Structure 1
């Protein structure tokens, strides 16, 4: 089916179920905001937009795709010829997705979505907001999934592996004890872990369920006496099973967490409602008290210990070797006029794969020549790629996951003598990059406070890059991790400004993106 045919099929289902507005977010059942398994890419399936951020909203006479500034140019191209309207998030006159849902659900109407992929906090907010219109939320329908039908990919079954203490600096037992101490301080009886990275960090295991992100689809439930890990047993090798057993972890079926939560009564349950999906929230009995705060593991993951820092530095040395070989190869071979974006990224993949303890790319490489560089998350493919000519810029944003660390680096390579405009723009990006990298600041400073250092040189010539300046980086986990980051503006309840703490790793990546002309980005990781 074409995109327009999928939307018409969806509208028929909406009519059958008396749904006036259908909300299709990007998240999975763990509320991962960006990289998810193909099974959960309903937003992309319905809209035709392949980017890893945003949502699709469909009414009886409107279909819209909300996404942020990183994807505007890409979305323009992918939505062309469809009935889907691009809603540029953060731009003047564009309502937020949630406000649109509220405004466009009619009096006495119904907003529908799959509650497995929508946060409990969002459902509570929408439910309360719609009461004024005598409208309601139905969160038990996966209509986009019904449209997808038998063609929908299956849930992944990647194998788990143990990450040894020499890489993590702590045993799983030590980490479990640290979490229980945090629970005692909060007087919590149970802690629900929903973020894909949290069980991996807690148990010193990694997975292979999402390309370029070594996590596994699994939940965990920690009490003061028991630790349960919810996953498919087919993912466990004998070594992983033995590792979990010796650390006191009981393996339960992936889908049984809700049933186990239902058994809790009169307990204090620690679960952030912005990280707990609606279906799991509905399983919490009324006689329990919910401690609505982020999991303590979010900060434990963010603040790397000495062993993790040592290993991360080692990973960057190896990654640097691969990058130097790559840049040398580009410079020496571009004049032959046979290089493409694909051949360039493949050469870099091969150089990283030569390094000791290499696992996989930390995200799909962005190999973007000249105008393609203006699309921040551009992806070359066999169906669509450019030849790299001996002029202009080749922007390469790439990284590797090694057993000792995760890397993320961008270099914009001049393929000939740059023009005066290219020199000016590159210099301003580099100035902002250096200003942020060299920053010294008082304790209590947030990334929001520091963002102007990177963005300032470009603002002086009325250019902005329409996205954050930096994101946290996990240790052999997701290349994009919070809770910290470097971004413009004030913190919000959904994305608070987080103090920068010693041991945090964050990227520094200002850029210039001139649609249909060029892109320039320079990126390194910084250690606080």
Structure 2
């Protein structure tokens, strides 16, 4: 996988809608339609999209990671969630598009605004069956007709649309995977059979990459090949992929039990499942998959992707790989934090320079394959936007007596990293230190917790928020997401959040621990480590075994932002022990001024020698 340099040029903007809305309406006329629905999602439900699939951005100018639009002959609307209410007004021309909330979204708009008899097209490959059912109900209520299209209307209008990626697939060695793909296929096939199905359809690229021990470069910041799979209950696989992506080494690796077919044959492969019971995940596969199977006479079993949970529970090799990746990445972070504490204190450094510096330091390690996502580099008020992405228009300097928030990660063959640190530029105020310490208290509580088997992330979420809640404060994002093993930086099915999640935490699951606080117009604070769920252990005097977390991320938490009067002795002991571990593992990898800085950054709060 080739490392892709982060681009800070302004993307999107109102000119996209002005230029392309007329083209879309010409395509509507040619197709005999009154409107077309444009979701953010691509055919594989990817978080990060290949260039050819940036249809929403092309049509509207909006570049956020969640959204949708509907274009009618005489009106249009764009839908975003609360993260993007300010961004959408900058990027999308309000004279051309109405701004609306993603919930109730397209379905709500159609219910309220569609006219009787209007024909509204959609691409069935880009919608989940549940989402489409809501839109169909809304259309029925409005008296409008939904029209399924064989070719996406945006693809017809987009005259210079990039080609789909055709990057080479590579073998992910068993030394990193910890299990060969024959064993995985057999194991997952057995689970499909146990659930009464004959086969499962997989359209999530992360599931396919994990199952077959392959990686690719089709998706930005995620080492994924775009493909689809039919997995039989006996472990045999039909892989639908552009054949030119596979060289002799990969074909030999896949072996005879994996049948390689052109991706254009996927519909035929689904039709061949006629009369069989087929497991399909409505959360990751499109309504087109369900419609194609139903038309063929297959019995569709709506059930979660059978790979998702096994993939989330990392084996010993994957956990050890993550430890090693975090030490390697931690050395880069320490060099960057030293730079922030020295050269970047001048007040002349800006957000882009800081992000480029971090990327330069990471890239010095030849084992880095790519960033795991675009770096969030937020100075002062920009740090108050949790999903902020710096560009040349928003770039601020790291000013004196302010806070700087940096959220970043790397992709290594043995693991994926994701870390957030908040640091002071100049002297922090008492208010900054208080807010930071409340966030730290929640972070420590979620790091230290022990819990019985069967507990979900939703049940643990309040631990990270309680210190903030006690002060009348909160944050509006989840506390933790799953992380892949040289896969996506965001992985399910587990998570830690207020939202109900029924997936129990299991040994080997890697999750983030990232409580925060955001004072709009002033600063943002977030502390994020990755941690892995440990094996259940007996506690002396207890009556059942308990799971816990092992922290993987290795980088100091800035002591200059801590109000120690707000920490308990137990919390201080946790931080001192964590810093002692960071010092032990990272010190051999740095020298000179950086080593001296690390020594001081990891010195116990009590002042004793580590």
State the TM-score, normalized to the length of structure 1.
Answer: 0.91
Asked if 1:72 is matched to 2:89, the reply is no
Q: Counterpart of 1:87 in 2: which secondary structure?
A: strand
Partners of 1:78 and 1:515 lie apart in 2 by: 20
For residue 150 of structure 1, report the CA deviation from its aligned partner. 2.2
Asked if 1:396 is matched to 2:410, the reply is no
Select the residue among 149, 165, 172 that pairs with 1:156.
165
Contact 2:439 2:468 in 1 (8 A): yes
Contact 1:338 1:387 in 2 (8 A): yes
**Cα deviation 1:206-258 (Å, max 9, x = unaligned):** 00011210001111111245311111122122211211126x21211112111
Structural mapping, 1:422-437, within 5 Å? 422-437=432-447
For residue 334 of structure 1, report the CA deviation from its aligned partner. 1.7
Asked if 1:51 is matched to 2:60, the reply is no
Contact 1:20 1:105 in 2 (8 A): no
For residue 324 of structure 1, report the CA deviation from its aligned partner. 0.7
Contact 1:4 1:82 in 2 (8 A): no
Structure 1 gaps, min length 5: none
Partners of 2:417 and 2:274 lie apart in 1 by: 44
Select the residue among 512, 517, 542 that pairs with 1:512.
517
Aligned match of 1:346:
356
Partners of 2:212 and 2:392 lie apart in 1 by: 39
For residue 401 of structure 1, report the CA deviation from its aligned partner. 0.8
Aligned match of 1:221:
230
**Cα deviation 1:134-191 (Å, max 9, x = unaligned):** 43321215223333x2222211112111111110110011111111111220222221
Asked if 1:485 is matched to 2:495, the reply is yes
Decide whether aligned partners of structure 1 residues 77 and 130 sit closer, same or farther in structure 2, where only a CA change above 3 A counts: closer
Aligned match of 1:521:
526
Question: Which range moves more in the overlay, 181-190 or 60-69?
Answer: 60-69
**Cα deviation 1:434-474 (Å, max 9, x = unaligned):** 22222222322222222222233334444443222221111
Contact 1:270 1:293 in 2 (8 A): yes
Decide whether aligned partners of structure 1 residues 212 and 482 sit closer, same or farther in structure 2, where only a CA change above 3 A counts: same
Aligned match of 2:7:
none
Aligned match of 1:416:
426
Decide whether aligned partners of structure 1 residues 2 and 356 sit closer, same or farther in structure 2, where only a CA change above 3 A counts: closer
Select the residue among 326, 334, 352 that pairs with 2:336.
326
Decide whether aligned partners of structure 1 residues 197 and 15 sit closer, same or farther in structure 2, where only a CA change above 3 A counts: same
Aligned match of 2:281:
272
Asked if 1:440 is matched to 2:411, the reply is no
Contact 1:72 1:375 in 2 (8 A): no
**Cα deviation 1:80-123 (Å, max 9, x = unaligned):** 6653344345xxxx634433333333333333221111123332
Question: Which range moves more in the overlay, 258-267 or 374-383?
Answer: 374-383
Question: Which range moves more in the overlay, 187-196 or 382-391?
Answer: 382-391
Q: Counterpart of 2:454 in 1: which secondary structure?
A: coil
Decide whether aligned partners of structure 1 residues 169 and 511 sit closer, same or farther in structure 2, where only a CA change above 3 A counts: same
Decide whether aligned partners of structure 1 residues 121 and 255 sit closer, same or farther in structure 2, where only a CA change above 3 A counts: farther
For residue 345 of structure 1, report the CA deviation from its aligned partner. 1.4
Partners of 1:432 and 1:111 lie apart in 2 by: 48
Partners of 2:76 and 2:139 lie apart in 1 by: 20
Aligned match of 1:497:
502
Structural mapping, 1:95-494, within 5 Å? 95-140=104-149, 142-147=152-157, 149-224=158-233, 226-245=236-255, 248-284=257-293, 285-355=295-365, 357-382=367-392, 384-489=394-499, 491=500
Contact 2:345 2:426 in 1 (8 A): no
Partners of 2:91 and 2:355 lie apart in 1 by: 22
Contact 2:238 2:259 in 1 (8 A): yes
Partners of 2:101 and 2:247 lie apart in 1 by: 45
Contact 1:3 1:46 in 2 (8 A): yes
Partners of 1:80 and 1:374 lie apart in 2 by: 25
Question: Which range moves more in the overlay, 107-116 or 327-336?
Answer: 107-116
Aligned match of 1:14:
28
Decide whether aligned partners of structure 1 residues 459 and 431 sit closer, same or farther in structure 2, where only a CA change above 3 A counts: same
Contact 2:224 2:487 in 1 (8 A): yes
Partners of 1:63 and 1:451 lie apart in 2 by: 39
Decide whether aligned partners of structure 1 residues 80 and 121 sit closer, same or farther in structure 2, where only a CA change above 3 A counts: closer
For residue 337 of structure 1, report the CA deviation from its aligned partner. 4.0
Q: Counterpart of 2:231 in 1: which secondary structure?
A: strand
Question: Which range moves more in the overlay, 225-234 or 171-180?
Answer: 225-234
Q: Counterpart of 1:151 in 2: which secondary structure?
A: coil
For residue 62 of structure 1, report the CA deviation from its aligned partner. 4.5
Larger Cα Rg: Structure 1 or Structure 2?
A: 2
- Aligned residues: CA RMSD: 2.3
Partners of 1:237 and 1:332 lie apart in 2 by: 48
Contact 2:510 2:532 in 1 (8 A): yes
Partners of 1:65 and 1:363 lie apart in 2 by: 25
Decide whether aligned partners of structure 1 residues 437 and 101 sit closer, same or farther in structure 2, where only a CA change above 3 A counts: farther
Q: How many residues align structurally?
A: 516
Partners of 1:350 and 1:311 lie apart in 2 by: 23
Contact 1:334 1:390 in 2 (8 A): no
Question: Which range moves more in the overlay, 248-257 or 106-115?
Answer: 106-115
Decide whether aligned partners of structure 1 residues 55 and 133 sit closer, same or farther in structure 2, where only a CA change above 3 A counts: closer
Partners of 1:73 and 1:410 lie apart in 2 by: 23
Partners of 1:342 and 1:221 lie apart in 2 by: 44
For residue 384 of structure 1, report the CA deviation from its aligned partner. 4.6
